[in-house]
Amino acid sequence: MRRCYSRTVPADLNYHVPVTSRTQVAIVGAGPAGLMLGHLLHRQGIDSVIVENRSQQHVIERVRAGVLEQGTVDLMNETGIGQRLEREGLRHDGFFIAFNGSRHRIDMAALTGGRAITIYGQNEVVKDLIEARQATGRPLVFEAEDVSVGGLRTAAPIVRFTAGGVAHELTCDFIGGCDGFHGVCRPSIPDAAIRVFERVYPFGWLGILAEAPPSSSELVYSLHERGFALFSMRSPSITRLYLQCAHDEDAGAWSDERIWSELGARLATSDGWKPTEGPIVQRGVTGMRSFVAEPMRFGRLFLAGDSAHIVPPTGAKGLNLAMADVYRLAFAIAEYYRTGRERLLDLYSERALRRTWRAQRFSFWMTSMLHRDDGGNPFDYRRQIADLEYLFSSRAAMTSLAESYAGAPFENR
Ligand code: APR
Ligand code: PHB
């Protein structure tokens, strides 16, 4: 099915009558989850329409996290969209945790039999996926308005939206609810059919991008009496840094000087290491939340990615969890079209939730080990230091951390 979604309606047409169309899978949201789902389905010859409410530019420029697990890297490579990642991604075999003025290294590759992470901005992943989608000619609608989903318990659910002033009714076999935490899919599930588990943290992260060559070749997570800080990067010339702040912090109230001084205070170690400073080109505050919706399915609607779960960013799991979901979902949908069997679709929620809760556990643990609570209880700080000292005294404990951080291979059954 090919249809132009951006045409404007001639004045003499009655545009209250929606344009109807059909596809196999309607995907709501063009973030990493929705775009990768469309990509995986396309490779199986399955038709989809992706409906996104923001502009292409907004989606591409949105600065998010940037740590890809091996599973995400493998998925991109194996499905033909890994060329730029291969060239520009920065492979890291380990990372540092700093406390009491020293940096300690977790040798992830050595502890996990060679698994590593790759630094590559989430918006770069999105850019590659959009390019791949547009090359297929399959529909990807940006700036859709009034998006809604219906008929979820029928065999022909519907996604309704308006594009270019034209109302559309898209009938399909399945809906991929990939519209993130604030989307419309999860709230369309009746309250009695969904249960949510949630924890909101009393702090957030102030994140910046700086035009400064990274002064460490690997990430540095730091527990400091003044609060958590993280040193990361995007390229050999761009550093990405975060500071623990109040959950409702006004990023604009921080001068560049104050940001650098706070980063220096929390990250600098006694061997003289500190982040290199440079012009700050982007800044923003992210709240911290742990959230899971169960089940991740209602009738023919399948939730994937942030629409079903949110993890605090300390474990770098959000994007990877979204990728693991859609890898599983695409396989289950493909099996349905190939064989008519719904077995994997029926298992989707339970199996995706198992990985989700593992990531929740890890992200919560990393967050509570490295952040200071409101008021900064000195008992907790000493306990956190003891936790970290134990971690670096025990190969078993470091292996456990490295395994979770690197991420388990993606599974599809
Ligand atoms: N209609 C259509 N699209 C919508 C709607 C709606 N009503 N509401 C939201 N969207 C779009 C958003 O604009 C966004 O582009 O859905 C997309 C959801 O993308 P993400 O929020 O990036 O979520 P996801 O694809 O699940 O990716 C998870 O992204 O948010 C990070 O930390 C998260 O790294 C993780 C990853
Ligand atoms: C990032 O580079 O944006 C980043 C790195 C590690 C995290 C979170 C974010 O845990």
Q: DSSP letters of 305-362? A: GGGTEE--GGG--HHHHHHHHHHHHHHHHHHHHHH---HHHHHHHHHHHHHHHHHHHH
Confidence check: pLDDT of 85 > 60: yes
Q: Residue 143: left if φ>0, alpha if ψ -120 to 50, beta else—which one? A: left
Ligand nearest to the CA of 239: 2
Q: For 315-347, how does the pLDDT look when each residue is reduced to its tens digit (9 = 90+)?
A: 999 999 999 999 999 999 999 999 999 999 999
**pLDDT for res 1:** 45
% of residues, the chain, pLDDT over 90? 93
Ligand nearest to the CA of 159: 1
* Spatial separation of the C-alpha atoms in residues 312 and 289, rounded to whole Å: 5
Region 66-91: what's the mean pLDDT?
A: 97
Region 155-160: what's the mean pLDDT?
A: 98
* Spatial separation of the C-alpha atoms in residues 71 and 82, rounded to whole Å: 12
Pull the structure tokens for residue 284: 């923003």
**pLDDT for res 5:** 61
CA of 150 to the centre of ligand 2 (A): 36
Confidence check: pLDDT of 405 > 50: yes
Confidence check: pLDDT of 120 > 60: yes
* Spatial separation of the C-alpha atoms in residues 42 and 32, rounded to whole Å: 15
Pull the structure tokens for residue 74: 């493998």
CA atoms within 13 A on the CB side of 29: 28
Region 296-301: what's the mean pLDDT?
A: 98
Confidence check: pLDDT of 6 > 70: no
**Strand 229-235 and strand 220-222: pairing?**
antiparallel
CA of 313 to the centre of ligand 2 (A): 7
Please state the atom number of ligand 1 nearest to the C-alpha of residue 34.
25
Confidence check: pLDDT of 20 > 90: yes
Please state the atom number of ligand 2 nearest to the C-alpha of residue 119.
2
Reported as a pLDDT band with limits 50, 70 and 90, residue 310 is: very high
With a CB cutoff of 8 Å and minimum separation 6, the contacts of 292 are: 196, 197, 198, 308, 309, 353, 356, 357, 360
Mean pLDDT computed over every residue of the chain: 95
* Spatial separation of the C-alpha atoms in residues 321 and 328, rounded to whole Å: 11
**pLDDT for res 376:** 79
Task: List the residue whose alpha carbon is closest to atom 30 of ligand 1.
Answer: 306
**pLDDT for res 10:** 52
Reported as a pLDDT band with limits 50, 70 and 90, residue 99 is: very high
Confidence check: pLDDT of 109 > 50: yes
Reported as a pLDDT band with limits 50, 70 and 90, residue 375 is: confident
Q: Which residues are identified as catalytic?
A: 92, 221, 313, 317, 405
